[in-house]
Amino acid sequence: MTLVAGVVAVQGNVAEHAAAIRRAGADRERELEVREVRDPGIVPDCDLLAMPGGESTTISRLLHEEGIAPEIREHVRAGKPLLATCAGLIVAASDARDDRVETLGLVDVTVERNAFGRQRDSFEAPLEIDGLDDPFPAVFIRAPVIDSVGEAAVLASVDGRPVAVRDGPVVATSFHPELTADSRLHELAFFGAERAESEHALLE
């Protein structure tokens, strides 16, 4: 069965996510095709979904205007994997403490935008991530900080602050896993659960 992978293509590193998804699929010997999501009607056909970074105000506004937001909520409600990165994490969060961002409430965390501070505007750090054997090269660009975690599980932290979480079928990171050649985070988000829980929606 060919899996259909959607990349929300409102803004951000769409081609990089598509490439990382293809590599992750190849590593797990899964056939998949990648579709860009700009219009409603595509997400319902997707088995897995990535929501890239960019500007969270713009992304959330367009997702709601285009009618894609309820489809993404339904995707997660059905238990299908979503990887949300950087601005994608902000949009997926329960609360971004910013009225300009209409969050989707898919990850039970509160985030603060651009909160790593001026000196650490952009940086790269080797990160220990729960579920990966070796450190992951994490690239942070005007990254949000997760400042409170509800039901979500913390997968990684920097200076004691969570930067990667899992909430059910959603993995969300404040860094950009698509900007390195390392596709293990995409694998973890999309296929990790498949190994842990043998009966997953992806196997249907």
- 93-132: which residues touch ligand GLN (CB under 6 A)? 113-114
Residue least distant from ligand GLN (Cβ): 53
Q: Is the distance from CB of 166 to CB of 157 less than 8 angstroms?
A: no
> Looking at this protein, which amino acid is placed at residue 108?
D
- The answer to the question of residue 55 lying near ligand GLN (CB under 6 A) is yes
- Looking at the Cβ atoms of 11 and 201, the one nearer to ligand GLN is 11
Among 53, 81, 162, 169, binds ligand GLN (CB under 6 A): 53
Nearest distance, CB of residue 81 and ligand GLN, angstroms: 20
Q: Are strands 107-112 and 145-149 parallel, antiparallel or unpaired?
A: antiparallel
Q: How far apart are CA 126 and CA 192, in angstroms?
A: 20
Q: Is the distance from CB of 88 to CB of 53 less than 8 angstroms?
A: yes
- Catalytic positions are 86, 176, 178
- The answer to the question of residue 86 lying near ligand GLN (CB under 6 A) is yes
- 133-172: which residues touch ligand GLN (CB under 6 A)? 141-142
DSSP string, 62-83: HHHHTT-HHHHHHHHHTT--EE
Measured over all CA atoms, what is the biggest interatomic distance in the chain, rounded to whole angstroms? 47
- Looking at the Cβ atoms of 57 and 183, the one nearer to ligand GLN is 57
Residue numbers at the binding site for ligand GLN (CB under 6 A): 53-56, 86-87, 90, 113-114, 141-142
